[in-house]
Structure 1
Amino acid sequence: MMLLVCPVFGQAKPTELRIAAAADLQPVLGALGPVYEKKANVQLKISYAASSVLATQIIAGGPFDLFMGADFFFPEKVVAANLADTGSPIPYAKGTLVLWTRKDSAFNPLHLNALESPKLERLAVADPDHAPYGRAGMEALKKLHLDAKVKDKIVRAENVGQSGQFALTGNAQVAIISKTLAVSPNFKDSGVFVLFPFASYTPINQTAVVLRNSSQRDAAHAFLKWFLSKEVQEKLPELGLVAVQ
C-alpha cells in the first residue's frame, strides 16, 4: 500500500536565502547557519568563493540576496554598481591572518621564521588580486621583509580555502590562511598555526551588502541583524573572527 507523506499542518515553507560568502566564512557559517535556519525557518543556500569572484558574479547578474565579503573593497564594488540597497557595505566582523602547517610538518613547532628556512619549498597563498586574505598575506610578507625570500616558493591558490587545502593535503608545506580556517575542526585536529603581527597588514574589515534586486531583502537584513547581535558576535572569537560590536 502506498503511503502519502503530507507536510505538517500549519508549518510554513522555509524562506530560501541565497548568500554569496567569502571562502573564509565556510567554517563560520557552517557552524552558525543551522542555528539560524532553525530559529528563523530559513533555508540558507550558500556559495563560497574568493570575494572578487563573487563580486564579479553579482555584477554580472548572479542570483544572490546577500553578499558577505572578506573585506570592504569588493562589497563596495557592488555598491558602486548600484546593486546594493545601502549606500555603503555593512561591517560584520574583522579577520585575522595566520600561518598554518600540519602537525607532522618539519616546521612544527611553527614560527614565522619558517618562512626564512632553506627547507621551505612551497608556501600556499591565495591570489592577492582576488582574495582579501591573499592580499593581506602578501602585504605581511613585504612588511616583514620576507617577500623576496619566498617569491619563488609561492603556490598560488584561488581563495583562502584552497590555500589551506594545499597545506592540508601536502601540496604545500605551510599556508597563509584565515584564523577561521585554522580553528575549524579539520585544520585544528591536523595542524598548528601562528598569528602574523597585526601591524604587518591592513586590518581585514569584513563587510556585507544586501542586493537591491533581491526578492528577500527583508530576510537578508534580518540575517545580518542576527549576525550582528550580541548573541552571535560573542561567539565569533571562538570561530576565528573578531567582533565588530
Structure 2
Amino acid sequence: MPTVRRHALALLAACAALPAASLAGGQPQPVPTLAAASDLKFAIEEVAARFEKETGHRLRLVFGSSGSFYAQIQQGAPFQMFMSADEDFVFKLHDAGKTLDRGRLYAVGRIGIKVPAGSPLKADGELKDLAAALKDGRLHKFAIANPDHAPYGMRAREALQHAGLWEAIQPKLVYGENISQTAQFATSGSTQGGIIALSLALAPQVARLGDFALIPADWHQPLKQRMVLTKDAPPALRAFYDYLSTPPAQEVMKRYGFEMPKD
C-alpha cells in the first residue's frame, strides 16, 4: 500500500479508537475532556489547536459515534462537553438531567459518495451508477456508518432509501462503527466505496484517496449538529464552547464543508 494512503488511513483509524490523544501530548494530564462526533476529526483538531495557542487551555479530544457517546454519558462517562452529529442526542441528555442546558447548534453536515482509486464505481451524487453496479455485478462491498447509533449512517440509509436502493444494497453493506471508520473502509480498497461525511472528504489526507460527490441535501433529514456542556464543565471547556462561535473557528469549520447555523 502506498505511503500516502497508509498515512491517511492511520489518521482515520486513530479516531475510530478511544480515547484520542490529548493535544498536550506526552504523559496523561488532568485536562478537560471533549467527546466529539468523528466527522469532526480534522476540523475540531485544527480549531482546538488554535484555541490552545491563543488561550493556553489544553483539551483532551475523544472521537466516536454520537450514539455511543450518548449512551456513555447516560451511564456517567466523564465527558464535560459533547459535540453531537445529531441534535436529538443532546435533547435527550438534557431531558435526562445530564447537561447544563439544551446546547447550541454549531453546524449542519453533508454526506456524499466516496470511491477509492481503481474502483469500478463512479462518484455519482445521485447514485445512478451505484444502482447500475448493483444490477451488473460490479458492486461487492459498500461502506456506511452503522445506522443504529451513528447519525451519518442514519442519513446514509435515508439517502439509499430515497434512491430506492436500500433493500438491494443491504447484503453488500459493511458497517463502520463511526463515520471515520467508514471513511477508512471506503478509501482502503476493502470496499468499492461508501457514503461518508463531506468534512472528512475535504481533508487533504482523504481527498487524495479517490473521488467524491455530494448527495443532494433533500435526500435525507438534515444533519443538525449540536453541542452541549455538562453541569460540571470547567472554565476551559466553557471558553472553548464560546470560541466555536467566533469567526476564526467558523472559518475552519466552513473550510471542512460545514454550514454554519443562521442567527
Q: Same fold (TM over 0.5)?
A: yes
Larger radius of gyration: 1
For residues 29 and 128 of structure 1, the distance between their equivalents in structure 2, rounded to whole angstroms, comes to 23
Q: Does residue 73 of structure 1 match 2:102?
A: no
Partner of 1:52: 67
Q: Does residue 114 of structure 1 match 2:129?
A: yes
Farther-moved stretch of structure 1 (113-122 vs 45-54):
113-122
Q: Does residue 36 of structure 1 match 2:51?
A: yes
For residues 164 and 113 of structure 1, the distance between their equivalents in structure 2, rounded to whole angstroms, comes to 21
Q: CA deviation at 1:21?
A: 0.5
Q: Which structure shows the bigger proportion of residues in helix conformation? A: 2
Partner letter of residue 42 of structure 2? P
Equivalent pair of 1:234/1:243 in contact (CA under 8 Å): no
What pairs up with 1:160-179 in 2 under 5 angstroms?
A: 160-179=179-198
Q: CA deviation at 1:108?
A: 4.1
Q: CA deviation at 1:230?
A: 2.4
Partner of 1:94: 108
For residues 213 and 236 of structure 1, the distance between their equivalents in structure 2, rounded to whole angstroms, comes to 26
Give the aligned length: 229
Equivalent pair of 2:36/2:82 in contact (CA under 8 Å): yes
The alignment yields a C-alpha RMSD, in angstroms, of 1.6
Q: Return the match for 1:182 from 201, 204, 209.
A: 201
Deviations 1:59-97 (CA, angstroms, capped at 9, x unpaired) = 1111111000001111222112101111x1310001001
For residues 214 and 49 of structure 2, the distance between their equivalents in structure 1, rounded to whole angstroms, comes to 29
Partner of 1:194: 213
Q: Return the match for 2:167 from 131, 138, 148.
A: 148
Instruction: Output the TM-score relative to the length of structure 1.
Output: 0.88
Partner of 2:222: 203
Partner letter of residue 118 of structure 2? D
Partner letter of residue 83 of structure 2? M
Query: CA 1:144 to 1:109, structure 2 compared with 1: closer, same or farther past 3 Å?
Result: closer
Equivalent pair of 1:21/1:49 in contact (CA under 8 Å): yes
Q: CA deviation at 1:33?
A: 1.6
For residues 45 and 124 of structure 1, the distance between their equivalents in structure 2, rounded to whole angstroms, comes to 29
Partner letter of residue 161 of structure 2? K
Deviations 1:147-167 (CA, angstroms, capped at 9, x unpaired) = 123121111111111111112
Instruction: Output the TM-score relative to the length of structure 2.
Output: 0.82
For residues 186 and 80 of structure 2, the distance between their equivalents in structure 1, rounded to whole angstroms, comes to 33
Equivalent pair of 1:163/1:175 in contact (CA under 8 Å): yes
Farther-moved stretch of structure 1 (225-234 vs 177-186):
225-234
Deviations 1:39-60 (CA, angstroms, capped at 9, x unpaired) = 1111110111100111111111
Which runs of 4 or more aligned residues in structure 1 lie more than 3 Å from their structure 2 counterparts after TM superposition?
A: 108-111
